[in-house]
Structure 1
Amino acid sequence: MPVTSPTRLHDLIAAAAAAVPERPAVVVPDGPSVTFAEFDRRITEIAEWVGRRSRPGDRIAVIADNGLDYAGLYYGVPRGGRVLALINQRLSAEEQLGQLAVVDPAVVLGDAKYLSALGAGTDRRLIAFDDAEWSDSAPAAEDDGANNDDANTDDANTDDANTDDAAWLLFTTGSTGAPKGVVHSHRSLLAAVSGTVAGRAVAPGGVYLLPFPMCHIAGYNLLVQHAVQATVLPVAAYRPESFAAVVDRHGVTSCSLAPTMLHSLLEYLERTGATLPTLRDIAYGSAAIPADLLRRAMRQLDAGFHQGYGMTETGGNLAFLGPDEHRAGAQDQPSILASTGRPHPGVEVRLGDDGEILVRGPQVAPRSWPADQPLTVDGWLHTGDVGRFDEAGRLVVVDRLKDVIITGGENVSSREVEDVLSTHPAVEHVAVVGVPDPHWGEAVCAVVVTRSEEDPAALIEHVRARLAGFKRPRHVLFRTALPLTTNGKVDKAAVRRYARESLSTTEISSPNS
């Protein structure tokens, strides 16, 4: 990492502003752009802005699409000694309100279209980006008598941050379905960045395209690229045709893609004959890449492929599979592609007695939000994934202990979908599991016992009306009873086997799949 011992997130930008001030830091395709020098000033203005409207340690929430303002908040809010709470813009308004209640932010910033959808459901301070003049001179937050010690002129200090202070608060889907917040400090995020720069051999000074929502931990890739003084292009949505156009127009050299995104990109390139000669490195995660897909990609794109394994609690990836291993896997060693690669030197990984992957290191989040349940046990993060090490020391993720479905890169709690389906009057019992899907990686499948005959489309719509669209079942199967374990609980392993066997012989899909 070309930054000399960064201790706070904005140190990355300050170093780049000093070294390459005129290099573009953030470029929004068909939108605004800033150099590193301009971005450094913008971060200072954001830190001052939030300092005048909140107190040290307060949460500042954001609900927005990827963009320049979002990138500025990544650094500016923590620089001012506040915590940036990232709320998924794809959630329903009801879900967002639930997370805001947990976060209790001083201010909610974001795109007007998302803030207006919250309606009268909140009395919190909502400020759209279009109305936020970062360089304005609004008065400092009024003292309500609750925190007299904090009511002083230092509240708007642009440099309140310390390395162990909380920086970001993100939500991850737990097996209970309840909102689970994870708090990362400057130290833990920078440790994840340092590990990725070393473990993935990130090339300096390139042009990187970020298609993943910045509310996800995948957004840490923006920090990774800025650590090597590269230009970042955040895009609001992924479509293969627009992705290819942006790569061509801006000379993109690296990007991150989910395997499903890569699949659709290859189909577009094959259909149109387009080429992407500037693209040199493609990183992916959330699912292993099928050997056939990798071979197609290597034929179409002259790029090196990098896989990463990590999660919200680790601030980003902790194990990496590099280009040489991908080439070997595509040629005559396909078993390599079943692994996620080797952990980088800055993290420890071991297997528990039940095969669960345990992680320890400075990039593990220091605490949860609310801080009522520790994230680690004796210093080790229990990932909920079952794994093994192959003969070359590469980590292989075998399965998940938690009943969380990963579909198109989004985490879906099976319990959450079950709770919603159980409110339908025709549903007596329900179990929700993930089933393999060639496009999405996994698809949500509901196995239902009904009180009366019901159309699958009605059950799907029941979920769609209450949860985000990616959480709706794409398959609905009916049974007269659900299999139970000896202690009377639903046997999820048996349900999963039943669903996968049924769908391998019969296609029972939602009409919108």
Structure 2
Amino acid sequence: MTAPMPWRSIPELVQSASDRFGDAEAVVDGELRLTFTDLADRVRRTAGAFASAGVGPGDRVAVWAPNSSEWVVAALGVLTAGGVLVPVNTRFRDEEAHDIVVRSGAKALCVQNGFLDREFTGPPGVPVIDLKTSGFLASGRPLERKVGEDDLADIIFTSGTTGRPKGVMTTHGQTLRLYAEWCRLAQLRQGDRYLIVNPFFHIFGYKAGLVASMIRGATVLPVAVFDVDRVLELVEKERVTVLPGPPTLYHSLLEAGGGHDLSSLRVAVTGAADIPVELVRRITTQLPFTHLMTGYGLTEAGTVTASRPGDPYEAVATTVGRPCEGFEVRIAEDKEVLVRGYSVMRGYLDDPEATAEAVDADGWLHTGDLGELDGDGRLRIVGRKKDMFIVGGFNAYPAEIEGVLLNHPAVAQVAVIGIPDERMGQVGKAFVVPRAEVTQAELIAWAKQRMAGFKVPRHVEFRTELPLNATGKVMKDKLS
């Protein structure tokens, strides 16, 4: 059972981490090494800078920048000034980002110009602060405003892969309670060295990364852009112990082979609708990891389910574990996963209609994911309601089909969509990144032996890579 939180807010957590861990390394970013004491001091100065810039309690500040020590200091500084953090996806183009900045009512926009060879602009009337060159973060007098557990901490916009992004509102108390639980399930420890490849603009990087590290006293090593050679170099040089990421991260590590000392690695954390059992076996036998956690989460509720230490390979690979403490999960008649618990969002920003559609009168969040529960209460995700396609009257779930195809030894990655068909209405089309030579006919024949005929893709297109967003999810709207 999770103990009562000793902190009412994320700023209190930052100060507590300084008191508890002091001279231990909090953030390592290139040549920069900040202790927990250094970090807390910088955060308070940054809070003063935001206050001088007119940011008051409840005001929003957007951060449109990659993982870095400056992102950490800026974000925590916003919260310490009593503000509300609005992270923005670094892959968004100007128009997309400006829409979020304007809708959030942000009083300022923090950027890192030059990242991905881009200049990051702001909408008219919103001051733009360059985190690398402006000197803004160090310009304030130390400040820490009182913030409560029920105060809004952040507005994180959904990925927008299925429509216009919606701003998810979450409080300090919700985040602290849930990610203390996450630390326990992931076996994050004091002194761990946590390489954060997952972007900070996403809850996997920000909450299961930065906030979790503050809770346990782990060192944050931010990575701006995933590059397998750079990751291998950092793991060896910095003796990294914790390395979460999407399944593609672990595929890359396995394919990169030897040449680096990876013996320090202990904890892996990933999540997907279906991970091949063979990948789970390889992560824990061919790489040094001794603990692999899989889980299921969404912006609207955080991490909802997770595997437990000792779960068998099959369960870790084919399910996303059991509900975290304080959550209920049930499956609706149409197979939609419904979630209820303390961490369900306070609502979508300025959108009561969408909020009412997502969270019903009984407090159940309608996730849009389709799933089933096994006899041990573990959740298996079988697809998205919007991804499902109908073949001759039968419901076909891409995640289920992808899970089968990933078992073929020549398939490294796959994404399945439904496409129009004159006779059947819709049929499946698979986009495959191969790891060995295979033909469309061979793959279809193999699939016919392993799944019902209506599920078998009628078409296969081979690609060298799949279009991924910054959090490692396939952008199916880019496939046709």
TM-score computed with the length of structure 1 as normaliser: 0.74
Query: 1:178/1:259 Cα in 2 relative to 1: closer, same or farther (>3 Å)?
Result: same
- 1:230 paired residue number: 218
Measured against aligned partners, the alpha-carbon deviations of 1:159-186 in whole angstroms (never above 9, x if no partner) come to: 1422111111111135751121111110
Query: Which of the residues 176, 181, 189 maps onto 1:195?
Result: 181
Is 2:379 the counterpart of 1:391? no
Q: Which runs of 5+ in 2 are unaligned?
A: 390-397, 433-439, 445-458, 467-480
Contact 1:199 1:319 in 2 (8 A): no
- 1:136 paired residue number: 139
Matches within 5 A, 1:168-187: 168-173=154-159, 177-187=163-173
> Using the alignment, how far apart are the partners of 2:431 and 2:238 within structure 1?
43
Is 2:266 the counterpart of 1:313? no
Partner of 1:213: helix, strand, or coil? coil
Letter matched to residue 178 of structure 2: A
- 1:244 paired residue number: 232
How far is the alpha carbon of 1:243 from its aligned partner?
A: 0.8
- 1:285 paired residue number: 271
Matches within 5 A, 1:342-491: 342-372=322-352, 373-374=354-355, 375-377=358-360, 378-403=362-387, 436=402, 443=415, 447=419
How far is the alpha carbon of 1:203 from its aligned partner?
A: 2.6
Letter matched to residue 232 of structure 2: A
Letter matched to residue 308 of structure 1: G
How far is the alpha carbon of 1:480 from its aligned partner?
A: 7.8
> Using the alignment, how far apart are the partners of 1:81 and 1:335 within structure 2?
42
Partner of 2:136: helix, strand, or coil? coil
Letter matched to residue 128 of structure 1: D
> Using the alignment, how far apart are the partners of 2:274 and 2:190 within structure 1?
26
How far is the alpha carbon of 1:202 from its aligned partner?
A: 2.6
Aligned-residue identity in percent: 29
- 2:77 paired residue number: 76
Partner of 1:89: helix, strand, or coil? coil
Contact 1:182 1:369 in 2 (8 A): yes
- 1:109 paired residue number: 110
Measured against aligned partners, the alpha-carbon deviations of 1:325-363 in whole angstroms (never above 9, x if no partner) come to: 2xx32xxxx355211111122222222232322212222
When the two structures are aligned, how many residues end up with a matched partner?
418
Measured against aligned partners, the alpha-carbon deviations of 1:226-246 in whole angstroms (never above 9, x if no partner) come to: 211111111111122111110
Q: CA RMSD in A?
A: 3.1
Query: Which of the residues 286, 290, 299 maps onto 1:300?
Result: 286
> Using the alignment, how far apart are the partners of 1:384 and 1:322 within structure 2?
25
How far is the alpha carbon of 1:196 from its aligned partner?
A: 0.8
Partner of 1:134: helix, strand, or coil? helix
Contact 1:87 1:171 in 2 (8 A): yes
Letter matched to residue 231 of structure 2: F
Letter matched to residue 310 of structure 1: G
TM-score computed with the length of structure 2 as normaliser: 0.79
Contact 2:329 2:340 in 1 (8 A): yes
How far is the alpha carbon of 1:134 from its aligned partner?
A: 2.4
> Using the alignment, how far apart are the partners of 1:404 and 1:90 within structure 2?
27
Query: 1:116/1:389 Cα in 2 relative to 1: closer, same or farther (>3 Å)?
Result: closer
How far is the alpha carbon of 1:311 from its aligned partner?
A: 0.9
Partner of 2:100: helix, strand, or coil? helix
> Using the alignment, how far apart are the partners of 1:244 and 1:511 within structure 2?
23
Measured against aligned partners, the alpha-carbon deviations of 1:206-247 in whole angstroms (never above 9, x if no partner) come to: 111110111111121211122111111111111221111101
Q: Which runs of 5+ in 1 are unaligned?
A: 139-155, 406-432, 448-478, 485-493
Is 2:204 the counterpart of 1:204? no
Letter matched to residue 48 of structure 1: G
Compare 214-223 and 71-80 and name the one that shifted more.
71-80
How far is the alpha carbon of 1:509 from its aligned partner?
A: 4.8
> Using the alignment, how far apart are the partners of 2:155 and 2:186 within structure 1?
25
Measured against aligned partners, the alpha-carbon deviations of 1:412-457 in whole angstroms (never above 9, x if no partner) come to: xxxxxxxxxxxxxxxxxxxxx888486885548695xxxxxxxxxx
Letter matched to residue 367 of structure 2: T
How far is the alpha carbon of 1:55 from its aligned partner?
A: 3.0
> Using the alignment, how far apart are the partners of 2:18 and 2:315 within structure 1?
44
